[in-house]
Structure 1
Amino acid sequence: MLGLKSDPWFENGQKKAVLASDAMIVAPSPQATLAGYDMLRAGGSAMDAAIAAMGVTSVVEASQAGPGGDCFALIFDPKSGLHAYNGSGRPPMALTADALRAEGHQVVPRVSPHSVTVPGAIEAWCRLHRDFGRKDLADVLAAGIHYAEDGFVLHPRVVRDWHESRDLLIARPETARHFLKNGQPPQIGDRWALPGYGAVLRSVAHQGPDAFYQGAFAERLVGFLRDLGGAHTLADFAGHQGEYVPPASVDAYGQSFYECPPNGQGLSALALIRMVETALSDTTLNSLDGHHLLSEASKIAFALRDDLIAQPEAMTRSVDDILSDAALARMLNHVSSDTVRPRRPATDYLPEHKDTSYVTVVDRDGMAVSLISSVFTDFGSTLVEPESGIILQNRGAGFSLIPGHPNELAPGKRPLHTIIPGMALKDGKPSLSFGVTGGDYQPVGHAVLAQGIFAEGLDPQEALNMPRSHCMKDQISVEEVLAPEIRTGLAEKGHNLALSTHPIGGGHAIFVDQTRGVLVGGTDSRRDGIVAGY
């Protein structure tokens, strides 16, 4: 992984990994990475740096994540070990699947107050900061407040996504007021400000989560949602609380891989990591067989998610059962090098969702943080609290309205989540802190990083640079940079191919070489992020 490279490697025009000895951060925008880096250099913990970076990201990439969304985290603390935090919210206690079905809905509508679950990000940031931070919360959120109030320069990828959402933004006058100018999204390099975001972050920095979930802001927010026909109450917001949960894990490639347990799709990522380890043992990822087998294994992992994953109390099988050696062997029996199986259409109730925001940090004391946050689809529900402009997530659209489904909408129940932070440990210490964005693609991206880094000897940047394919319903979506002979071979095998019109996923990763005391970071060229370390 860290050996000498040939000259063409230096000339291929691709990003190269960043190396450091003491601490490192990777975030989806330069502003976010540098805010977290400043925290590290000032003596802050990895958690201080991660929250600082996510606070900035929530402003400069407000279409992807923010105070109106949810988050999950994996934290390795050298003193207390590995922790997982579920920072996802719930629907209103007064909302039922029967009520939506009675209105004629077959799925939870994306642009609707019914898709707005109570945002969990702010509570999670404050709780995680309290438990693992060193710096004052006001200092940690200062950079995000600065960019919100004084403005920030826009980078290419976020502008691309902004333009794709124009029609949805213009349909809501209060949303257009905050996110369009003369009816148009900004251009690359334009300066934008979100002073309402700054006001909310400032109040949280000084008053804690109550500034968001109780008081004047919550009253405005609940009033806005109820005026639109929502069932939300002040009690729904005041009663929100995230929780620490036992992480789920499998062993593969000589590592122990960890994910947050349901209601997230982390189990599908763990199952896929194990299947790919075996299925690709005689081939490489960036080959015809590699892309074919990855697609076939992905279909099994998605079926697992669609059939089984929900809030744990509603699941019909336990985490241990789903990840047992016997169950994983049965899954692998359905993966064939010669057969193309159809992908089941069970995910039709989920809206298309491509992006989110992810941050990973390792500090000089050995703490590692893998933190992911999202408003679900681009610009979430596109409903915003009118005064602040805070975008409200539409994570409720992740519920099923199929009667009896484990993930059926119910009062106070958390929906299926697609955002999943990842971490791998070797001999009880972090070897890889990683995450991949892109909705459905996330478990696939986790398996790709695991295979590329631990089986094929790639560094994190090389693994992220590889051309991608992704099984999407009845076809494989492929990037244009995928070799023509691989595309031709996939079609000859019977795959229905389509060139992707959108970058497939995004990702960041930090490999921890515990033997040599070196951190190796990579960030996806499909996003605007950078790596910084010292």
Structure 2
Amino acid sequence: MRNFHFAGRSTVHAQNAMVATSHPEAALAAIEVMREGGTAADAAVAACALLGVIEPQSTGIGGDCFALIQPRGEGKIIAYNGSGRAPMAATADWYLERKIHSVPLTSAHAVSIPGAIDAWDVILRDHGKFGFDRLLQPAIKAAEEGYVVAPRIAFDWKNGFEKLKNGTNTERYLLPHGKPAVAGDVIRQPELGETLRAIAQKGRDAFYSGEIAADMVDTLRRIGGLHTLEDFAAHSTETTSPIGTMYKGYDVWQCPPNGPGITMLVMLNILSRFDLTQFKPLSIERFHLEAEAARIAYMMREQHIGDPQQVHVDVAGILSKEFADEHIKNIRMDRLLDLPNVAPPMNPSTVYITVVDKDRNACSFINSIAHSFGSAIVSDKTGILLQNRAGGFRIQPGHPNCIAPGKRPLHTIIPALATKNGRAVMPYGVMGGQYQPVGQTHVLTNILDYGCDVQEAIDMPRGLHYEGVYQLEDSVPAEIVEGLKKIGHKTVRVVPPLGGGQAIWIDWDKGTLTGGSDPRKDGCALGY
């Protein structure tokens, strides 16, 4: 139970419906949709479209979307893969002939076809009651009439200033008065508002064909891109089944590759073989084991995961007991495993939204433009900030994640869903680039091993072992930092906090919902 003598957040409780997002305005928009009779899917799309305007560093219609939805919280879970593909002209040979050995993150080559709008359309077709004409209205209003910049968004805006100064059309669209926006500023984006109006009126085709698509293609080709109108017109969302594993009696579900959710599942398989409860939640041992599990899982991901539509990914083998056993036997508490240094191509930003409606439809929903402010390329006339998700490709023939025509890159965004006996218990996610599998594992083990409520689990100090260094938040106690160093970890204090997260716990017996939202962001949980 929370000690009310100390600063913190209470969990949010409701009977009917609940949402948690990274911005209060988005949470409110979702609640208003559900009060009007909309579903969890309707609420998620409305919230996400609004976030694409008011949290531009993290998300937008120029990005990608993944979701897990369990209708009425029971039975079959549907996974939606709304990740975009490389242009059909993007061959590894094309880049290598030009001596390009990695995708420049602020170039047109980093822009894969944005998948979010089509994913929203498919999700609403399957699970929604409303259409874009209703659900995009809060986003349209914010773009045209203006929105007030929140503190965390201002923090990211300041950190992205140099990137935006050197981008394509970013000074015009995202640097009002030539300076980064600060908390309390009012920002208007009328061109983006007009684009959203067109999508609201004409649907997803307005984005993938016609004037809007032509403007994106023209912008990208002018700065060296290989994109064509045919690439945009051919885009589609994949609807599939999730992959999962069991931890402490709960089934944990993720979208399959090219999503990286399998990374988190491998971490759980490894940690399930240790009794974490013999260590304190804030302890050297717990942080060490989490880091070792992450190092193994991330190594696996970088070596074996790509787009299964173009390469073979042995999901069953990777999630097998034998795979975990092979690595667990080498873990020691007094030193680090001797593993190759893993250096993923990117560490992007994201927004995550969790929604449960009055019918207990559970929606775990994530949307991203990859790095903060994406590619720093804004389409000439439409105001669309384009993602740099293709920066996640390797240019390495034979590698499962090597760029290829029409291929989807290895992603970072992962919505999660925990169930028990077939029923949804917790749709949740932890955003924040490469941190996401670690963050989801950290939050889940905080709840299932240490008895935290959803807010306590999200609040807990965090660390990420990344590129050979253990990045630790300021809230990690000094004695833990020193203990990790003695074991052999190289540690560093991370500048921005690690990610952000949202969770909703469903209590079927009481008929209640409990929500939590990360203080590392501006958002909140709301219910009614």
Which residue number in structure 2 is paired with residue 288 of structure 1? 284
**Which residue is equivalent to 1:152?**
147
CA 1:153 to 1:395, structure 2 compared with 1: closer, same or farther past 3 Å? same
Match of 2:209 among 192, 209, 214: 214
Secondary structure class of the residue paired with 2:377:
coil
Number of residue pairs matched? 526
Give 1:314 shift: 4.2
3-state DSSP of counterpart to 1:326? helix
Aligned residue for 1:195?
190
The letter for the 2-side match of 1:191 is V
Bigger mean CA deviation after superposition, 79-88 or 339-348? 339-348
Distance 1:331 1:285 in 2: 23
Alignment-mate amino acid for residue 81 of structure 1? K
Contact 2:215/2:382 (<8 A) preserved = no
| Alignment counterpart, residue 340 of structure 1, candidates 323, 336, 340 | 336
SS in 2 for 1:443: helix
Q: What amino acid sits opposite 2:413 in the alignment?
A: I
Q: Which amino acid aligns with 1:530?
A: C
Aligned partners of 2:268, 2:150: CA distance in 1, in Å? 33
Match of 2:359? 365
Q: Which residue of 1 aligns with 2:54?
A: 60
Residues in 2 aligned to 1:317 and 1:217: alpha-carbon distance in whole angstroms:
35
Contact 1:108 1:397 in 2 (8 A): yes
Alignment of 1:401-480 (within 5 A): 401-480=395-474
- Distance in 2 between residues matched to 1:322 and 1:401, nearest whole Å: 24
How far residue 34 of structure 1 moved from its aligned partner, in angstroms, is 0.4
Retained in 2: the 8 A contact 1:276–1:451?
no
Equivalent residues of 2:69, 2:79 under 8 A apart: yes
Question: 1:87: which partner in 2?
Answer: 82
Aligned ranges 1:348-363 → 2 under 5 Å: 348=344, 350-353=345-348, 355-363=349-357
- Look up the SS of the partner of 1:231 in the other structure: coil
Q: Equivalents in 2 of 1:351, 1:172: separation in Å?
A: 18
How far the C-alpha of 1:116 sits from its partner, in A, is 0.7
Q: Tell me whether 1:306 sits opposite 2:288 in the alignment.
A: no
SS at match of 2:96: helix
RMSD over equivalenced CA pairs, Å: 1.4
What is the deviation of 1:344? Answer: 2.8
Instruction: Answer yes or no: is the 8 Å Cα contact 1:273–1:446 preserved in 2.
Output: no
8 Å contact kept, 1:296–1:340: yes
Out of 78, 90, 94, the position equivalent to 1:99 is 94
Distance 1:213 1:400 in 2: 26
> Shift of the alpha carbon at 1:247?
0.6
CA contact (8 A) 2:75 2:423 kept: no
Residue type of the alignment partner of 2:288: H
Asked whether the equivalents of residues 277 and 450 of structure 2 are also in contact (C-alpha less than 8 Å), the reply is: no
CA distance in 1, matches of 2:187, 2:384: 15
Query: Contact 1:22–1:363 at 8 Å: present in 2 too?
Result: yes
Deviations 1:299-330 (A, max 9, x none): 00110110111111444442111111221222
Are 1:533 and 2:514 matched, yes or no?
no
Is residue 2:320 matched to residue 1:324?
yes
- Distance in 2 (alpha carbons) for counterparts of 1:533 and 1:382: 35
Letter in 2 for 1:111: T
Contact 2:517 2:525 in 1 (8 A): yes
The Cα of 1:362 is off from its aligned counterpart by: 0.3
Are the equivalent residues in 1 in contact too, given 2:168–2:378 (CA < 8 A)?
A: no
Matches of 2:35 and 2:339, distance apart in 1: 48
Residues 428-461 of structure 1: CA distance to partner in whole angstroms, max 9, x if unpaired? Answer: 1111110111111100011111111112111110
Offset of 1:493 from its aligned partner?
A: 1.3
The whole-number CA distance in structure 2 between the counterparts of 1:149 and 1:459 is 39
Task: Please tell me the residue identity of whatever aligns with 1:332.
Answer: I
CA 1:281–1:331 in 2, change beyond 3 Å: closer, same or farther?
farther
Question: Match of 2:9?
Answer: 15
Please tell me the residue identity of whatever aligns with 1:284. K
State the TM-score, normalized to the length of structure 2. Answer: 0.97
How far residue 288 of structure 1 moved from its aligned partner, in angstroms, is 1.2
Does residue 379 of the first structure (1) align with residue 373 of the second (2)? yes
For residues 343 and 463 of structure 1, do their structure 2 counterparts lie closer, same or farther at Cα, with a shift above 3 Å needed?
Answer: farther
Cα contact 1:276–1:447 (8 A) shared by 2: no
Matching residue's letter, 1:189: G
SS at match of 1:375: strand
Distance 1:284 1:267 in 2: 27
Kindly provide the amino acid, as one letter, of the partner of residue 103 in structure 2. Answer: V
Q: Which moved more, 1:312-321 or 1:415-424?
A: 312-321
2:264·2:437 contact (CA, 8 Å) conserved in 1?
Answer: yes
Q: Name whichever of 10-19 and 247-256 sits farther off.
A: 10-19
- Give the fraction of aligned pairs with identical amino acids, expressed as a percent: 40
Greater shift in the superposed pair: 9-18 or 73-82:
73-82
What is the 5 A alignment of 1:250-265? 250-265=245-260
| Structure 1 residue 277, shift from structure 2 partner | 2.8
- SS of residue matched to 2:437: helix
Structure 1 stretch 306-315 or stretch 230-239: which is displaced more?
306-315
Q: Which residue of 1 aligns with 2:130?
A: 135
Once the two structures are superposed, residues 15-42 of structure 1 have per-residue CA deviations (whole angstroms, 9 ceiling, x without a partner) of 1211111110001101100000111111
Report the Cα distance in structure 2 between the residues aligned to 1:172 and 1:397, rounded to whole angstroms. 16
- In the TM superposition, residue 379 of structure 1 has moved relative to its aligned partner by 0.8
Q: Pick closer, same or farther for the CA change 1:197–1:432 going to 2, 3 Å.
A: same
| Unaligned runs of at least 5 residues, structure 1 | none
The residue identity in structure 1 corresponding to 2:297 is: A
Report what 2:114 is aligned to: 119
Unpaired runs of at least 5, structure 2: none
Distance (Å, rounded) in 1 between the aligned partners of 2:475 and 2:393: 35
- Corresponding position of 1:75: 69
Q: CA deviation at 1:343?
A: 5.3
**Structure-1 separation of matches of 2:510 and 2:332:** 40
- Residue 240 of structure 1 and its aligned partner are, at CA, apart by 0.4
CA contact under 8 A between 2:64 and 2:369: conserved in structure 1? yes
Kindly state the Cα deviation for residue 47 of structure 1 after the two structures are TM-superposed. Answer: 0.6
2:4 alignment partner, SS class = helix
Alignment CA distance shift 1:300-1:150 (3 Å): same
What residue is the counterpart of 2:391 in the other structure?
Answer: 397
User: 2:498 — aligned with what?
Assistant: 504
